[in-house]
């Protein structure tokens, strides 16, 4: 049957279930229309610039300062999340305390809370007269409108990534192994270092990378608390917006390409980490 032959085109194992051609076609079409063609337009726009100008735009002192800030703050935020996210995941998996279920549920809040809301809320709390800022300011710690504030915002939006990847990994840790080690005289710290850390390490690194990747591109929650001073507290996504407002489309596209390239590298890193994690999991079983 002609129709059937067309339907199964490209399918490596023919299936009795209908709809292969139409669903694949629709998926590909939608993907191209919404994601791929627009992204290609960005790359083409940047490719339309001559090379010297492209390099000049993406290595201008203001751009370099913004990369340093975006990367530096994201790195610090992801590291803070790795430490506290692990502690949170550990607390939620291993301990029982009043309100544990509630705490577990609100971990996902930064996923659901619009970034503009977290931005103005953090600024209010960490400003010099804010609930927390008023205690930090006398110590000489300025949070709002400095890089510390940016890091705080990036920590908030990255937090669930670390907790939610470490949590299932911690549940995987084999308790009988821990007990065996302890019965054989291993100290608690030794057990932690030799059994628990190796098991959750891939998840911890994946969570770190996910949090970092999200933080590098973050815009909404940062711009309210950042102060947005060129060369000082200006993140790369904001610089793109400023270029656009100046109708410098090519400049915005060039910086957008840098951000896109970073996204691809992060995506690759995350995939590799997940493959590594699965392999380790397989070996340990």
Partner 1 sequence: MAGPSSSAEAAAELASRPGHTNLQATLVRWLLITVSLTFLGALLAAPLAAVFATAIAKGWVAYFSAFGDPDTRAAIRLTLTTAAIVVPLNTVFGITAAWCISKFEFRGKSFLITLIDLPLAVSPVVSGLVYVLLFGLNGWFGAWLQEHEISIVYALPGIVLATMFVTFPYVARELIPLMQQLGNDEEEAAITLGAGGWFTFFRVTLPRIRWGLVYGVILCNARAMGEFGAVSVVSGNIRGLTTTMPLHIEILYNEYNFVGAFAVASMLSLLAVVTLIIKTLVERSTGYRRR
The only residue of 49, 75, 79, 104 in contact with partner 1, by rule CB under 8 A: 104
The only residue of 240, 251, 273, 277 in contact with partner 1, by rule CB under 8 A: 240
Q: How far apart are CA 81 and CA 109, in angstroms?
A: 15
CB of 219 to partner 1, least distance (A): 4
Q: Is 183 in the site for partner 1 (CB under 8 A)?
A: yes
Q: How far apart are CA 180 and CA 172, in angstroms?
A: 16
CB of 145 to partner 1, least distance (A): 14
Q: Is 282 in the site for partner 1 (CB under 8 A)?
A: no
Contact (Cβ atoms closer than 8 angstroms) between residue 146 and residue 227: yes
What SS3 class is residue 146? coil
Q: Is 106 in the site for partner 1 (CB under 8 A)?
A: yes
258-159-89-99 Cα dihedral, nearest 10 degrees: -160
The only residue of 1, 2, 5, 97 in contact with partner 1, by rule CB under 8 A: 97
Residue 92 CA to its chain's centroid (Å): 21
Q: Is 172 in the site for partner 1 (CB under 8 A)?
A: no
Q: Is 62 in the site for partner 1 (CB under 8 A)?
A: no
The only residue of 266, 276, 280, 281 in contact with partner 1, by rule CB under 8 A: 266
What is the gyration radius of the CA atoms in the chain, in angstroms? 24
Q: Is 174 in the site for partner 1 (CB under 8 A)?
A: no
Q: Based on CB atoms, which residue is closest to partner 1, 164 or 232?
A: 164
The only residue of 26, 47, 134, 180 in contact with partner 1, by rule CB under 8 A: 26
Q: Is 220 in the site for partner 1 (CB under 8 A)?
A: yes
Number of residues written out for the chain: 285
Residue labelled with tokens 């610090």: 76
What the block records as the tokens of 232 is 């000082």
Q: How far apart are CA 203 and CA 223, in angstroms?
A: 30
CB of 16 to partner 1, least distance (A): 5
71 phi, psi to nearest 5 deg: -70, -45
Stretch 139-168: interaction string toward partner 1, x if CB under 8 A: -------------x--xx--x----x--xx
Q: How far apart are CA 30 and CA 32, in angstroms?
A: 5
The only residue of 55, 62, 111, 246 in contact with partner 1, by rule CB under 8 A: 111
CB of 61 to partner 1, least distance (A): 21
What the block records as the tokens of 90 is 């550990």
């Amino acid at each position: 049957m002609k129709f059937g032959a067309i339907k199964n085109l490209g399918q490596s194992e023919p299936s009795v279930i209908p709809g292969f051609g139409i669903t694949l076609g629709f998926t590909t079409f939608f993907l191209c229309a919404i994601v791929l063609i627009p992204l290609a337009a960005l790359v083409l726009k940047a490719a339309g610039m001559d090379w010297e100008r492209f390099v000049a735009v993406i290595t201008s002192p203001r751009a370099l300062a913004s990369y340093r800030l975006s990367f530096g703050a994201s790195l610090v935020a992801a590291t803070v999340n790795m430490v506290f996210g692990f502690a949170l995941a550990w607390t939620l998996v291993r301990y029982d305390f009043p309100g544990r279920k509630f705490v577990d549920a609100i971990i996902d809040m930064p996923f659901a809370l619009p970034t503009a809301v977290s931005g103005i809320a953090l600024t209010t709390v960490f400003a010099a007269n804010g609930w927390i800022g008023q205690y930090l300011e006398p110590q000489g710690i300025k949070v709002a409108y400095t890089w510390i504030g940016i890091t705080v915002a990036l920590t908030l939006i990255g937090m669930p990534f670390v907790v939610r990847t470490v949590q299932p990994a911690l549940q995987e840790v084999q308790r009988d192994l821990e007990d065996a080690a302890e019965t054989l005289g291993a100290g608690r710290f030794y057990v932690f270092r030799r059994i628990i850390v190796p098991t959750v390490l891939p998840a911890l690194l994946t969570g770190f990378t996910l949090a970092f990747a999200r933080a590098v591109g973050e815009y909404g929650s940062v711009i309210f608390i950042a102060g947005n001073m060129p060369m000082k507290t200006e993140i790369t996504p904001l610089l793109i917006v400023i270029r656009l407002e100046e109708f410098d489309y090519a400049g915005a596209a060039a910086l957008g390409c840098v951000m896109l390239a970073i996204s691809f590298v992060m995506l690759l890193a995350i995939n590799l980490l997940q493959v590594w994690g699965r392999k380790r999991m397989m070996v340990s079983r």
